[in-house]
Structure 1
Amino acid sequence: MGIRNSTTTFAQSWSSTRGRLVRVEVLVLFSAFIWILVELLGSRRRRHSHGFFRFFVWAVYTLFTVLGPYAIGLLQDGPFRDQTFVLWGSILLLIQVSADSLSVYSIHDIEQRKRVLVQHVLQIVLVLWLIVNSKGHNTCYTATIWIFWIQSVILTYRKSGVLSNASKKGGLLKQSKVVADYMMIEHEQIPPDVAPNPKTMEGYRYIFHGEEEVASLLPTAPEYRLGFGQVPGIKCTTIDSVWRWIESQDVLTTGAVETIKDVALSFSLFKLLKRRLCGYRIGEAGRAKTLDFVLNGLISEEGNYVRAFVVIEKELAFLYDFLYTRYDTKNPMYWCLTFVNVVVIVTVWNSISGAFSRHYHRSNLEQRVHGTDVTRWVTIVLLIIVLVLSFLPPTMDRRWDVVDELHRYKQPTWGTAMSHISRNDEARILWQRAFGQYSLLLDFDYHSWNVLPLLSLGLVGKTREGQKAGRKTMLTREIIERVLSGFKESNGQLHDGQSALARNQLLSQFSWACTLPTNIHNILVWHIGTTIAMDGHPVPRTGDHRVAKTLSDYCAYLVAFVPDMLPGHGYDTQRIFDAVVMEARKSLTGCDTVSSRCEKLTMMALASDSSCTILELGGRLGRELRGVVPEARRWKVLADFWAEFILFLAPSSNVEIHAEKLAAGGEFMTHLWALLTHAGILERPSTTDGVGGGEGHSPIRCPGCAMLGRNWHGMERNMVQFPANPSQYTSNRNKTLVGIQQSHKYLILLQLMH
């Protein structure tokens, strides 16, 4: 009975007017606190990828979108009609629409923008109803309430425009269409006597600004693309003219000019990259000057590989801001918003003074604790939070300010802007620059009880068997230079690792490991082989050994955790990984250390003449790699292979996974993907030896099958090479059909042998 009476008493007090007042006070203060967290954490998402941090940000964002409307509903439904509570409601409304650093949590939320905006409109109406029915005659409070409400309406309109611009069904589609159509004819805009120079961007008329105005025009015949220059006064600004204008500014130092030029270039490339979000054709792909832009423009003749990588980092930072924040360039409403902000600051200050003065409007629902008016102090705390956040700049990264100045071609305040750019030019400020790491032979026996996914009803994803990420490794200058220097030395050609083996005179020995059924086979086999080859050797901080191990474990990490970034279907990759984990648990039973596991795999490969599983193939490769001596040569071969192979894996048509990972700390593979896009490389080439380049071919089960696989795919290549002479085509076709019939007979014989 005592518990029942206590429960009844608590329920009555909780539903009483005093209890509702306490609930409102707690919710209002907690909403303001959540607002602070959103502003602080939103801009840090692209620098942190830890699972707990991402879950915490998601929880904060979810509470932020729920608590405010709930508190406004309590104010609307209860006896809270005094100006003090109406002021709380207007502040809650302002909080809901003024978060800039985290406008949406996921890229999928952008397409749900109409639902979000309808919620904001309903809250605006509810707060307006509170204002109309409020009681009190504090002039300062009245002015503040109305200014907050008007500010909320303006910010809601602005948020509508920002989300629409980032939506595939809105401005993103429209403006990217302008860029896509323009880039189809961009090379035609260059005068015949001007040779493209990627060092000065002369002859590269990539759009920097102005596509918004062109987007309102209708396409013209005969191809019905947007006609550039058809309307006087509407003209796009291009990156070459922007660079020339920056160089003409005498007030800038040489270092400042280069930094601002890189910011402008990153912004222009960001507009080109947005086309891939819409699925538009990349018109400049395949042109010589496009590849030359990356090989001799982003990457200078002196081999400034880090500069090329930083430009891509800034470009992806622009893309992140565009999709997930409201750090956009200043629109026509900017000066209006600035004016309103000034009025808000003055009004808030007057309100605080009024709250401390004897003219403070005391509510009939006052709550005192030890003689302190809690309601009054809640009001003061809320106004101080609004005042502080109004003074703070939305972001310390001044890239958008520089871009806005370049849009208007006005003399900017370069001193202030450049001081911020210099500080934020560090790589760790833009992105976390860390590699995810995974070692199959170390963690295949990892088992998770998945208690948290069960308790959270699936909000936290399950961890699969053997899926345990290792400690992240920071991206170093050495790895950047190793990967990009190989790309430059190969003249922009992608290879699946065989070229690296050929340079080291080892292709004949290891070519079999590059012609496996799928690229996922290649990754796992070479990862296992690399682990075996490095067993017992401490990893130094620098050198080929470090490069090879970092890239090997990173590619294995992508297989285990981000399969959609790799060639083939992501689900197929998951199933292959799960199967290999189960095979390892079955084959390596009783081996408790990595060394013992490596030795057992080596012995298994030595005892088997017909290796067919990924584990056995990896053991065979590891045993053969151990035969490469001296060790320095072995590490160089592996470093060359992985640096070449990771570039080969980078092209992808799955744009969504790259956009999604931008909000989770970013991936090194995304940076390579963007770089190759600007080089005009959108797809990986077919490999030079049979099955290695394809996905979904039958696994190689024995040397005879391997030979058949190579012969079969060689005939496939012959079938698609149509000669210019039709009679030659007929002859080749007949020879191919005969070869296919013979191969079918050989295949039946092999099946009987097995």
Structure 2
Amino acid sequence: MVELIPIRLQKTWEIWNVRGVILFSLSLQIVLFLGAPMRKRTGNKLYILIIWGSYFLADWAASFTIGLITSSRNSSKIIERSDLLAFWAPFLLLHLGGPDTITAFALEDNELWLRHFLTLIFQVVASFYVFLETLPSNKLWLPTSLIFLAGVIKYSERTRSLYRASWGTFRETMLTEPDPGPEYAKLMEAYSSKKVARLPTKMSQTLDAVIRESKSAFYSSQRPRDQEKRLDEFEVVRYGYHFFKIFKGLIVDLISHNDRNESRDFFLQISRPDDALKVLEVELNFIYEVLYTKFVVIHDTIGYLLRSVSSLSVLASLGVFFFVDCKHGLDKFDIRVTYTLLLGALSLEAIALFNLIFSDWTTVNFLDNRINTNSGVRAIFKKYLKIRRSRWSPPKDELPNTNSSESIRTTPVLLRRWSESVAGFNLITYCLKQLPKKSHEENADQCYLGIFKKTAHLLHRIQKCCRKKVVEPLGAKDFLDEWRYASKNYFTKNLWEFIFKELLEKSKEADKPENIKTISSARGAYVLEEYKKEHGGEVLFETLKKDYIENVTYDESLLLWHIATEICYHGSEVDHQTEAVDYKFISKLVSDYMLYLLVMKPTMMSAVAGIGQIRYRDTCAEAKRFFRNKGLGPKMVKDACEKLLAVNTDVKPVHVKGDRSKSVLFDACMLAKELQKLEKKWEVISKVWVEMLSYASNHCRPDAHSQQVSRGGQLINLVWLLMAHFGLVEQFVFTAGFGPAKLIVEK
């Protein structure tokens, strides 16, 4: 009989199966422990794919190894080292517990807490059974017991973290005590008895003074701002945590009105947009750690106690194994494997302890408990926060289309709380098949130098065939398109200050509930209406508002303004930039970013996108056909925009093509021609784009925001939180409050 698997390979597997897989499991724990925090600091898909693979392989490797140990315990070849196998089994519980830096890869994983709880029970029983079979002759019973205790604690921490981050539990923590209100039946009974007795009785309900005062404070309270006051790093963390506790209800679409006045008042008075950004970054960091890490369960009294026990257990186990004579008769390589497991576990515990001490959670506890009387401790935390502070600096290379004095975010990647970059995707560039130029590097020309035309044509056909036969059926087209054509741009200080000031001004105008509704639902029309009132031009602004915003869906409006912005940006006319704010650069940056969200992040835009993907594909198809007919190719963006602008658009495209195609290419050309007539063209365009960004952030599903913070974070997440702090979300629109009714019996 022919053996499918060679005998030599079978023997190798019998010798190395447990050893190899348990070391592989340890290596995955190291990758996750050190690499998982980076996923909140980068949006790189390849890096996130590595973390995703490690996350799922880690659970498989640990469970598989426990299964190998359990099934092979009676094998004659390994029964001689059964004590050692029983010692190795609890290490898999440690691995199943996972590192502090990641408990869930996605929000959906938190809902699987019950599965992990059952897995915890089964794996504990299996490990304990293997251990019992070696008693009473097991010489390693003490270090095994210590590691077993640490493993149970670690896995319990993970299960508890998943449970607390699950949607139902998280929402439950945000619910206040039920309030039945005044006893209606008793009051009505008294009212009826008075009526029967023919007494002149009436029910009086007056506006509650407390509620009225609260409403007045929310809608109109604005104390004078102290322009000289800046937040220090301690205050940034304190306010970040304080507002996180208030606004974490946004995650489950459940927020309370109790503290809205304090938040809005704070952000209206804040002297520098940069300080507001720091507070929002800390909030996002807390949201990430609550949903995807163990930090929320280890930063309390029980958590500190259990962590001390588990760490000391690992240390004691290493000490016992090293000093006590219990290694006699064991294979030298197996002893080295055991030391590797022990030292690996101890090293991870030491790093975890360092992360636990130097974290935002510990800083908050330090501030709340007022231990700052100890100047030495305060100095240490001050130094820690100084190292972690966000940084702005001029770019090393001049940014395209902006001045060299523009400040950009340059916090070292290991210290960031989010990616600190703004992605971009450009429709015209994509249709011309041009790779984007990164903002921080100059791409070399990608020409087929030294390759004959015939060979190049053949390579192109092979590439096209692979794309159709392999890439598209596997659903990897969007992944590759984002990898090749999405740009990564610097997050500039001017961009943030512009967004902050726009929302600040809108917050000041939100003095009535109906104004909040209008502002939170505006997607460009509010800005155009304001400009019409201030600068005249009723016909032009009314055309822009009606035809390109109000009478079209959001996704159509976004595509129209994106293409029109690109055409104006590369237009032949020279723009004389005299304003302090570079509106042209901001318009281009936000325009490309919004299309990136629409095309590359459809889950974030699903609530407002409509048939955005169909409209985008049809527009791309028409653009490619037009560029092909005009003989345009890569690196000819300016020529493409000028050709589009030169097209005669006296007749609307829908009257020529009908409504079969959803393309908006030439409608956008019409919009571009209308925008060219504006005196302050780029100022208007930039403010329209910020309003579109605000609308998208306000109407994006909360779970999509929460998911994104684990994948580098986005500018839209910051805008979402900022709008909530300014009270520009519809949840804060509430009607007049009335106090309890009073039964009045007239004389």
Q: Is the shorter-chain TM-score for this pair beyond 0.5, marking a shared fold?
A: yes
Cα pair distance change 1:570/1:589, threshold 3 Å: same
Task: Give the Cα separation in 1 of the matches to 2:466 and 2:300.
Answer: 48
Task: Give the Cα separation in 1 of the matches to 2:560 and 2:46.
Answer: 32
Give the counterpart of 1:297 among 263, 266, 269.
Answer: 266
| More divergent stretch after superposition (315-324 vs 257-266) | 257-266
Q: Residue 309 of structure 2 aligns with which residue? A: 340
Task: Give the Cα separation in 2 of the matches to 1:408 and 1:180.
Answer: 31
Q: Residue 533 of structure 1 aligns with which residue? A: 568
Task: Give the Cα separation in 2 of the matches to 1:37 and 1:317.
Answer: 21
Q: Residue 174 of structure 1 aligns with which residue? A: 172
TM-superposed deviation, 1:382? 1.3
Cα pair distance change 1:201/1:667, threshold 3 Å: same
Give the counterpart of 1:262 among 219, 236, 258.
Answer: 236
Indicate if the aligned counterparts of 2:605 and 2:696 stay in contact, CA closer than 8 A: yes
| More divergent stretch after superposition (492-501 vs 399-408) | 492-501
Give the counterpart of 1:314 among 282, 288, 291.
Answer: 282
Cα pair distance change 1:550/1:149, threshold 3 Å: same
Q: Residue 366 of structure 2 aligns with which residue? A: 405
Indicate if the aligned counterparts of 1:45 and 1:665 stay in contact, CA closer than 8 A: yes
TM-superposed deviation, 1:522? 1.9
The one-letter code of the counterpart of 1:526 is: W
The alignment partner of 1:472 has SS state of strand
Give the counterpart of 1:26 among 20, 29, 48.
Answer: 20
Q: Deviations over 1:188-246 (max 9, x none)?
A: 98998999699x999xxxxxxxxxxxxxxxxxxxxxxxxxxxxxxxxxxxxxxxxxxxx
Give the counterpart of 1:475 among 472, 476, 491.
Answer: 491
Give the counterpart of 1:72 among 46, 66, 73.
Answer: 66
Q: Residue 113 of structure 2 aligns with which residue? A: 113
Q: Residue 40 of structure 1 aligns with which residue? A: 34
TM-superposed deviation, 1:124? 1.2
Q: Residue 540 of structure 2 aligns with which residue? A: 509
Q: Residue 57 of structure 1 aligns with which residue? A: 51
- The answer to whether residue 438 in structure 2 is matched with residue 438 in structure 1 is no
Q: Residue 341 of structure 2 aligns with which residue? A: 382
Q: Deviations over 1:628-672 (max 9, x none)?
A: 57xxx5433433332343224321251111111111111111111
The alignment partner of 1:393 has SS state of helix
| More divergent stretch after superposition (27-36 vs 118-127) | 118-127
The one-letter code of the counterpart of 1:49 is: G
Task: Give the Cα separation in 2 of the matches to 1:450 and 1:322.
Answer: 43
Q: Residue 594 of structure 1 aligns with which residue? A: 637
Cα pair distance change 1:351/1:626, threshold 3 Å: farther
TM-superposed deviation, 1:345? 4.4
Q: Residue 676 of structure 1 aligns with which residue? A: 723
Identical-pair percentage? 18
TM-superposed deviation, 1:317? 0.9
Note the residue ranges of structure 1 that are not aligned, 5 or more in a row.
Answer: 203-253, 367-372, 687-754
TM-superposed deviation, 1:408? 4.6
| More divergent stretch after superposition (406-415 vs 31-40) | 406-415
Indicate if the aligned counterparts of 2:273 and 2:500 stay in contact, CA closer than 8 A: yes
Q: Residue 274 of structure 1 aligns with which residue? A: 248
Indicate if the aligned counterparts of 1:444 and 1:467 stay in contact, CA closer than 8 A: no
The one-letter code of the counterpart of 2:346 is: L
Q: Residue 162 of structure 1 aligns with which residue? A: 161
Task: Give the Cα separation in 1 of the matches to 2:142 and 2:565.
Answer: 70
The one-letter code of the counterpart of 1:340 is: V
Give the counterpart of 2:669 among 612, 619, 636.
Answer: 619
Indicate if the aligned counterparts of 1:560 and 1:574 stay in contact, CA closer than 8 A: yes
Task: Give the Cα separation in 2 of the matches to 1:536 and 1:193.
Answer: 51
The one-letter code of the counterpart of 2:322 is: S
Cα pair distance change 1:508/1:475, threshold 3 Å: farther
Task: Give the Cα separation in 1 of the matches to 2:472 and 2:151.
Answer: 35
Q: Residue 381 of structure 2 aligns with which residue? A: 417
Task: Give the Cα separation in 1 of the matches to 2:47 and 2:253.
Answer: 32
Indicate if the aligned counterparts of 1:424 and 1:430 stay in contact, CA closer than 8 A: no
Task: Give the Cα separation in 2 of the matches to 1:600 and 1:455.
Answer: 33
The alignment partner of 2:269 has SS state of coil
Indicate if the aligned counterparts of 2:89 and 2:127 stay in contact, CA closer than 8 A: yes
TM-superposed deviation, 1:98? 3.9
TM-superposed deviation, 1:40? 1.1
Task: Give the Cα separation in 2 of the matches to 1:56 and 1:358.
Answer: 42
Q: Deviations over 1:63-104 (max 9, x none)?
A: 111001101111111134532222221112212114111101
TM-score by length of structure 2 reads 0.72
Indicate if the aligned counterparts of 2:556 and 2:612 stay in contact, CA closer than 8 A: no
Indicate if the aligned counterparts of 2:92 and 2:151 stay in contact, CA closer than 8 A: no
TM-superposed deviation, 1:603? 2.4
Indicate if the aligned counterparts of 1:435 and 1:668 stay in contact, CA closer than 8 A: yes
Task: Give the Cα separation in 2 of the matches to 1:448 and 1:423.
Answer: 49
The alignment partner of 1:435 has SS state of strand
Indicate if the aligned counterparts of 2:33 and 2:102 stay in contact, CA closer than 8 A: yes
Cα pair distance change 1:448/1:359, threshold 3 Å: same
TM-superposed deviation, 1:398? 1.6
Task: Give the Cα separation in 1 of the matches to 2:468 and 2:333.
Answer: 39
Cα pair distance change 1:164/1:454, threshold 3 Å: farther
Indicate if the aligned counterparts of 1:530 and 1:622 stay in contact, CA closer than 8 A: yes
Indicate if the aligned counterparts of 2:561 and 2:671 stay in contact, CA closer than 8 A: yes
Q: Residue 498 of structure 1 aligns with which residue? A: 528
Cα pair distance change 1:376/1:492, threshold 3 Å: farther
Indicate if the aligned counterparts of 1:465 and 1:578 stay in contact, CA closer than 8 A: no
Task: Give the Cα separation in 1 of the matches to 2:480 and 2:543.
Answer: 31
TM-superposed deviation, 1:283? 3.3
Task: Give the Cα separation in 2 of the matches to 1:668 and 1:449.
Answer: 37
The one-letter code of the counterpart of 1:19 is: W
The alignment partner of 1:100 has SS state of coil
Superposed counterparts of 1:231-242, under 5 Å: none
Q: Residue 184 of structure 2 aligns with which residue? A: none
- The answer to whether residue 393 in structure 2 is matched with residue 350 in structure 1 is no
The alignment partner of 2:698 has SS state of coil
The one-letter code of the counterpart of 1:30 is: F
The alignment partner of 2:299 has SS state of coil
Task: Give the Cα separation in 2 of the matches to 1:174 and 1:578.
Answer: 42
- The answer to whether residue 84 in structure 2 is matched with residue 84 in structure 1 is yes
TM-superposed deviation, 1:50? 1.2
Indicate if the aligned counterparts of 2:116 and 2:159 stay in contact, CA closer than 8 A: no
Q: Residue 484 of structure 1 aligns with which residue? A: 500
Indicate if the aligned counterparts of 2:652 and 2:667 stay in contact, CA closer than 8 A: no
Task: Give the Cα separation in 2 of the matches to 1:594 and 1:74.
Answer: 60
Task: Give the Cα separation in 1 of the matches to 2:39 and 2:222.
Answer: 33
Task: Give the Cα separation in 1 of the matches to 2:711 and 2:178.
Answer: 28
The alignment partner of 2:337 has SS state of helix
Cα pair distance change 1:684/1:192, threshold 3 Å: closer
Task: Give the Cα separation in 2 of the matches to 1:165 and 1:409.
Answer: 28
- The answer to whether residue 390 in structure 2 is matched with residue 426 in structure 1 is yes
TM-superposed deviation, 1:52? 0.9
Cα pair distance change 1:453/1:86, threshold 3 Å: farther
Q: Residue 524 of structure 1 aligns with which residue? A: 559
Cα pair distance change 1:362/1:467, threshold 3 Å: closer
The alignment partner of 1:430 has SS state of coil
- What is the RMSD computed on CA atoms of the aligned residues? 3.9
The one-letter code of the counterpart of 2:528 is: Q
Task: Give the Cα separation in 1 of the matches to 2:464 and 2:172.
Answer: 46
The alignment partner of 1:333 has SS state of helix
